[in-house]
Structure 1
Amino acid sequence: MAVVVSWRGVVVAVAVVVSWRGVVVAVAVVVAVAVAVVVAVAVAPLSWRRRLLWWLRSPWRGWRGAPAVLAGGVAVVLVVANVTAGCGADVPVRSGRVDHMRLVIFTEPQQGASHDDLLRVAKAAEDGGFDGFFRSDHYVKMGDVSGLPGPTDAWITLAALAVQTSRIRLGTLVSSATFRLPGPLAIAVAQVDAMSGGRIEFGLGGGWFDAEHKAYGIPFPALGERFDRLEEQLEIITGLWKTPVGSTFQFDGKYYQLNDSPALPKPVQSPVPVIVGGHGKKRTPDLAARFASEFNVPFAKIEDIPAQFERVRAASAAVGRAEPPAFSAAAVLCVGRDDAEVRRRAATIGREVEEMRENGGIVGTPAEAVETINRYAEAGASRLFLQTLDCSDIDHVNLVASEILPQL
């Protein structure tokens, strides 16, 4: 950085050279301006030429002031040239909207991952600077994969990771309200939050995958009842956590009743961040407005996301909430250093590159991924959950950490 100041404080120029492309453009602009000045002087009236010569011969405007003015002009041209040159393809692409985007690694262990696999991914995510490591909460694989060695329990996994990691935030996207009773679930989440030192986030949904309920003998009621149960569970769990120590908690709902609950243990965080998500247009926004710290739209076309965020804003205003919850999205991750690597990763997870792109996936080279992340930021998301389907591919996580995260 060079700073040039004339003795009268008239000219202050700051030149910042960001890339060789900016310099090339700057030189071209300076040459063009110089040629234009020479031509203008050549055709100017005699009186104008005399004024120019007087200015150059002046003791302070001429050989003392001219360098400052010239440096200032060059500095401005350099800065403008760097901006118009896009700061060069070798420099991370930046956007004011992406400055606040946080990335989370989001795994689907039911597709085939042991706890050791999950630990390696969580460690890579923590070392790489990601905001969080989240996992799904499912018991049966989806699609044409082996699913081996079999499902792992979400909250047992997070309890282990709570003591095996130190910084990264941990959570579910999302646990199913059909899997567990609300009282014991509140105890488990509070305990894991304490084990992690206050790094847990709690995602809860109504449940949707009929096959896993049938496979493990779990009742799967109709959609309306699942929403009713989800609402009662959110009321109970948040109510237990908020009840002062020494007081008891009561709840008399249609599906759950709690009498004289000691409402213990308490989580470290007050409150534990609650995540509600989905595509529903009525009850989902209402539940998010009433209970959620964050609202997540999973696996949607980017152009459809703002409308769902707006529904949550409207629901928040309707319940008298001063500020809506934070907004986030989830998208499949499939990036590579070149097109061949992208195609290889897509084949490994049994997906088509174009299909993932069309449905909002973070797909392609790092530069293409940053462009897509920009679009999520412009849609209103402040956090993006990157669905990482191959937990054995640590290089995938490291690639995002080294070539995408620094640009955000």
Structure 2
Amino acid sequence: MDLRIFTEPQQGASYDDLLAVARATETLGFDAFFRSDHFQRMGDGDPLPGPTDAWTTLAGLARETSRIRLGTLVTSATFRHPGVLAVQVAQVDQMSGGRVELGLGAGWFAAEHAAYGIPFPAKRFGLLTEQLEVLTGLWGTPVGERFDHAGEHYTLTDSPALPKPVQASPLDPARAGVPIIVGGNGPKRTPALAARFAAEYNAAFPAKADIATRFATVRAACESIGRDPDSLVYSVALVLCAGATDAEVARRAAAIGREPAELRANGVAGTTAEVVDTLGALGELGASRVYLQVLDLHDLDHLDLVAREVMPALA
């Protein structure tokens, strides 16, 4: 099972904070460092130092790391025009030597759009679909050819479709592309998008009882268009709260304003033995990758504990 570290820097983190976590992620043997793409803190608390831009952060980390995968859970389709996003992602992929992945979603946090003057249309699923069409179209256009798109939301005319990512598209190795992650709770449209465009389907903070059903729905969507369901990675993102003892679990839960019992029920939480069991259960449900949401970015001992006590047990 791949274990990835997933951060929420809009809650209060500088680039240096994220760099420290990314370096620990790499040193300790985790598979990837991911971050959210938000521009405003959620809930009460100290808003300082303010937001950091996701793709600016990942560009920096691309040069500061050498092994781990880097990506977003998830970039909002409302934040950037797809032509610009295609250039940004391809450039960061080049800067990293081909280690970038793109999680893309429709966006949901209206307050941050209002705060930074970003349009927030009521209907955004069509926007997301068209962005995926444009991104994959631009990256997949052979060098020397041009890309055109005339859609409801975007028009691209005579685009040179450059630069290209270093990586080959997981869906078509003859063309350039990066792994795209699609996630969401919808029973029909989201699975259909995942089947059409994604290398990975992610269930973000699901009720554990719902995970198998979500994965089955995506598998059915793949079968309906003739795609092998096993060609997707199935993943979940859940909050991490591990400890060597119950007292340490309680301390870490308090530090993020949560209750140990709630975290055990809804996250990857408890003593290291409990965490191993939880991850094993997620694997039995079909997850081959877990994003461990780390909310206290200054507690690097938390990551070290998982690396020492959990990862060997999974191997």
- 1:357 aligned to 2:264? yes
Q: How far apart, in 1, do the equivalents of 2:290 and 2:69 lie?
A: 14
TM-score, normalising length: structure 1: 0.74
- 1:406 aligned to 2:297? no
- 1:191 aligned to 2:98? no
Is the Cα–Cα contact under 8 Å of residues 302 and 379 in structure 1 kept in the other structure?
no
- 1:275 aligned to 2:181? yes
Is the Cα–Cα contact under 8 Å of residues 370 and 404 in structure 1 kept in the other structure?
yes
Shift, 1:350, TM fit: 0.9
1:8-407 alignment, distance < 5 Å? 101-222=1-122, 225-271=123-169, 272-323=178-229, 324-359=231-266, 361-407=267-313
Q: How far apart, in 1, do the equivalents of 2:12 and 2:303 lie?
A: 17
**1:222-276 CA distance string (max 9 Å, x none):** 1xx2100000000000110000000000101000000000000000001210000
Runs of 4+ in 1 over 4 A off after TM superposition: none
Partner SS for 2:50:
coil
Rg larger in structure:
1
Q: How far apart, in 1, do the equivalents of 2:303 and 2:80 lie?
A: 31
Q: How far apart, in 1, do the equivalents of 2:132 and 2:35 lie?
A: 20
Q: How far apart, in 2, do the equivalents of 1:384 and 1:152 lie?
A: 24
Shift, 1:147, TM fit: 3.1
Shift, 1:347, TM fit: 1.0
2:45 partner letter:
V
1:355 partner letter:
E
Shift, 1:117, TM fit: 0.5
Shift, 1:144, TM fit: 2.9
Tell which deviates more after alignment, 298-307 or 315-324: 315-324
TM-score, normalising length: structure 2: 0.95
**1:185-215 CA distance string (max 9 Å, x none):** 0000000000000000010000011111111
Shift, 1:301, TM fit: 1.7
2:189 partner letter:
R
More helix by share: 1
Gaps of 5+ in 2: 170-177
2:29 partner letter:
G
Q: How far apart, in 1, do the equivalents of 2:41 and 2:248 lie?
A: 25
Is the Cα–Cα contact under 8 Å of residues 303 and 379 in structure 1 kept in the other structure?
no
Q: How far apart, in 1, do the equivalents of 2:277 and 2:43 lie?
A: 29
1:121 partner letter:
V
Q: How far apart, in 2, do the equivalents of 1:395 and 1:330 lie?
A: 20
Shift, 1:164, TM fit: 0.1
Shift, 1:344, TM fit: 1.1
Is the Cα–Cα contact under 8 Å of residues 302 and 375 in structure 1 kept in the other structure?
no
**1:88-123 CA distance string (max 9 Å, x none):** xxxxxxxxxxxxx11000000001110000000000
Partner SS for 1:334:
strand
2:250 partner letter:
R
1:235 partner letter:
E
2:7 partner letter:
T
1:171 partner letter:
G
